[in-house]
Structure 1
Amino acid sequence: MRARLHLLKKIKTCEFFMPGMVDTRIHASQYSYTGTALDLPLLEWLNTYTFPVEAKYKDLGFANNVYTKVVRRTVKNSPTTACYFATMHTDASLLLGELADKFGQRALVGKVCMDSNSAVPQYKESPSECKEETDPFIKELLKKGDCNGPTDEKLEIFRETGSAISHCPNSNISICSGMLNVRNVLNHKVKLGLGTDVAGGYSPSMLDAMRRTLDTSKTLTIQDPQHKTLSFEEVFRLATLGGSEALSLDDQIGNFVVGKDFDALRVNVCVPDGPIDLFPGEGPKVILEKFLNLGDNRNITEVYVAGRRVVPFPDT
């Protein structure tokens, strides 16, 4: 605590601490082709790009190279979790389960449902037709899922079962799978966090996830003027506390409540040659909004995970 107070005293008016952002969905094994290969529907995309690349991970040199880079790229934005596609039952997915058992909830393994209707052609019923309360496959997927266009009935099932949704707007747009009505999800009191969904999404940045969540919400308002657009404050909550709630980690991280782990970003909006300009009279709310809309990794000067500074990275 004394060290933390010392840091706070040193902070200038254009610097602040904020809770660490929580990426609720990222596929580390897909990172090598992030930003490319977004020309196909989901299942064709998996067969053409994902599965052949995943086969390369038997080469430990290749695996070490990719995972070193993905960790360095993502840790500056948030602690992240491991996820795998629901229809895959490979040695890799089994290994993730072993890691989750070994390291506890900080190494969660997620399941994916209803990315798009084409994702489950091997089942007799599409996600829009199946009966979640009786279908054991879908009932299992509801434990953690990502879905587009859930009906009010399905959202009630999500709420009743304590299930969570990972909203990944970049990948939803990139692979043309739809636009989630986050407002409707929140109205049903379903837990929801944001994710990058690399490499279906082409950006590993949670700042990008927040911006595209706002863009999606505004697009829905264009389509339906009765739709209430999300505010940047609501999206900020989804990227922090919302993500921790979706992963059942809200008793440990997500905000600065006393007793939780100190997961935090130190943000400097006045970093030299940075992307943000400040002007007289701008208060904390305006400064935060400017960072969320204009900022990038140059503005994130330090990252703390459970009280330990992990950025800047050590030289070794």
Structure 2
Amino acid sequence: MAKIFRGQIVHTRALNEFEVFTNGFVAIDTNGKIISCGSDTEYESWNKTQNINDFEIIYLTPDQFLMPGFVDCHIHAPQCAQIGLGLDMPLLEWLNTYTFPLEAKFADQEFARKVYNQVVKTTLRCGTTLASYFGTNHKDSTLILAKEALQLGQRALIGKVCSDCNIPDFYRETCEESIKATEAYISDFKSLKTKLVQPIITPRFAVSCDKDLLSGLGNIANKHDLHIQTHISESIAEIEFVHEIFSKSYAQVYDDAKLLTKKTVLAHAVHLEDDEIKLISSRGSSVAHCPASNTMLSSGLCDIFRLLNQGIKVGLGTDVSGGNSMSIQDAILRAMDVSHHLEFVKKQHIKGCENTKPSSSVEYKPLDYKQAIYLATLGGAQALALDHVTGNFVTGKEFDALLIDTSKYPLHNFDSYKTWNQDKSEEIKLLELVQKFIYVGDERNIVKVFVAGVQVKV
């Protein structure tokens, strides 16, 4: 049955355009598509053109609000089994010590099924309605991840990882094996007969793929018009390794292989050169900002405004298990932390240290919570080239949404807050509820999750 949600609603239309309806509505049809959204006044006008008996009306309480689902632009599904381990190591050491041995175990399909079922359930419970997953080198196990996402109702891009060099022998493919398995993976995907879950071409990173493999994957992506995901410029040591192998910039390596497209998302992008930013922007490729893993693996501080100001689309990624949380809400907080830390670096003067004097020309405002919500919703959908489908409550998109209830599990005094804010406007009250959820709430406040209009079990 078609549905109408009535109550407090928030979403974004752009980085600096945060829209709130204190007494609004979202109407969705029987196919889960949004047919109207707006204020109470707009509802009265729209309602006159409808047969209201065709709709189930769902009224939100004053403690509840509706927002778009979270988008995780970069998460390694198999690594969820090692979450929290090795986070005191630099990237390349961490990969060899923990990640490659674990991912090799996904040759066991029963092991894969057990892990992937929990991964999808957990991310849905955390409010992730769209995820871009790295699988492993194993075609059949990665297809299991696709089936789990589809069965549980999560929108996802899912990639069979490709790597043929500079990784342990026990986890290495040949170039021919990787290309053949990728083609077979795409073919197998067609049997799922769904648009909710899609394949994505996934070279692990330039360090672990030779020139022929990168070019072969670029050809496959272009042949089938597929999404592409990989890593770029995560750590200094990694970048130096890429230069040693290819004698050119990281971005140029990918561009030469035709891997920089309007459907490409690049994770990290911490240390891009100016020319690389111009190249990525000109190709319409995007960046997945992964603040937790960039910090924990000592990779660096990514200045996302440097990217955004050059026209690059940016979303957020948990980058589990380089990141230690499967929650995009946590990534929102980490993104704001990193932005504030960058402000300190750009502006702070340490007493007694002349070389730390800030430049008078520095103009930097850190990320605020509204902008961070944009990155976690519409920005993420744009980064994954799926903003025509999801990301906000614009008419024609599919209804991917979270029902937030701030009266649940009042661990941070949601209830006591209401006793002293009664003299504020309704809009300010709603914005403060949103802030409460973002800063001190958690997944227990996410009481309903909808994907394509269907409530999924969390």
Q: TM-score, normalised by structure 1?
A: 0.88
For 2:3, the equivalent position in structure 1 comes to 3
Point out the more displaced range, 17-26 or 55-64. Answer: 55-64
Matched with 2:387 is 250
Rounded Cα–Cα distance in structure 2 between residues aligned with 1:33 and 1:245: 30
Structure 2 residue 114 is matched with structure 1 residue 65: yes
User: Is contact 1:84-1:112 (8 Å) kept?
Assistant: no
1:38 aligned onto 2:87 = yes
Q: How does 1:58-207 map to 2 (within 5 A)?
A: 58-76=107-125, 77-78=127-128, 79-83=130-134, 88-89=163-164, 90=173, 94=182, 97=186, 103-104=194-195, 106-109=197-200, 110-119=229-238, 123-125=242-244, 130=249, 132-133=251-252, 136=255, 140=259, 143-146=264-267, 147-207=269-329
Partner of 1:213: 335
Q: CA deviation at 1:56?
A: 1.1
| Counterpart contact for 1:81–1:108, Cα < 8 Å | no
| Cα pair distance change 1:273/1:21, threshold 3 Å | same
Tell me, yes or no, if the aligned pair for 2:77 and 2:135 is still in contact at 8 Å. Answer: no
1:113 positional shift: 1.8
Change beyond 3 A, Cα 1:275–1:138: farther
Aligned counterparts of 1:189 and 1:287: Cα–Cα separation in 2 = 32
- Counting aligned pairs with the same residue, the percent is 34
Change (3 A) 1:127 1:232: farther
1:145 counterpart SS class: strand
Larger Rg: 2
What does 1:50-61 correspond to in 2, within 5 Å?
50-61=99-110
CA contact (8 A) 2:232 2:250 kept: no
The reply to whether residue 265 of structure 1 matches residue 340 of structure 2 is: no
Structure with higher strand content: 2
Deviations 1:238-292 (A, max 9, x none): 1000000000000000000011000000000111444452332361111111111
Report deviation, 1:168: 0.3
> SS at the partner of 1:140?
coil
Contact 2:332–2:373, Cα closer than 8 Å, also in 1: yes
User: Offset at 1:119?
Assistant: 2.6
Letter in 2 for 1:107: Q
- C-alpha change, 1:131 and 1:40, in structure 2 (3 Å) is closer
1:110-163, Cα deviation, whole Å (9 max, x unpaired): 212222232356544489962745765575267321210323322221211000
Counterpart contact for 2:260–2:285, Cα < 8 Å = no
Partner of 1:20: 69
Query: Are residues 131 and 53 of structure 1, via their aligned partners in 2, closer, same or farther at CA, if it must alter by over 3 Å?
Result: closer
Classify the secondary structure of the residue corresponding to 2:377: helix
2: distance between equivalents of 1:241 and 1:260?
12
TM-score relative to the length of structure 2:
0.62
**Distance in 2 between the 1:10 and 1:82 partners?**
34
Q: CA deviation at 1:108?
A: 4.7
Q: Distance in 1 between matches of 2:378 and 2:409?
A: 30
Counterpart residue number, 1:283:
429
Aligned-partner Cα distance in 1 for 2:259–2:336: 30
* 1:304 aligned onto 2:304: no
Greater shift, 45-54 or 58-67, is seen at: 58-67
- Alpha-carbon distance change, 121 to 155 in structure 1, aligned in 2, over 3 angstroms: closer
Query: Which deviates further from its counterpart, 76-85 or 255-264?
Result: 76-85
Q: Are the equivalent residues in 2 in contact too, given 1:111–1:141 (CA < 8 A)?
A: no
1:295 pairs with 437, 441, 446, which one? 441
SS in 2 for 1:22: strand
- Report the AA paired with residue 318 of structure 2: T
Other-structure match for 1:229: 366
- 2-side partners of 1:128 and 1:168: how far apart? 27
Q: Supply the AA of the counterpart residue of 2:368.
A: S
Cα distance, 1:247–1:253 mapped onto 2, change above 3 Å: same
**Contact 1:113-1:141 within 8 A present in 2 as well:** no
- Contact 2:281 2:312 (8 Å CA) reproduced: yes
> CA shift at 1:96, angstroms?
6.0
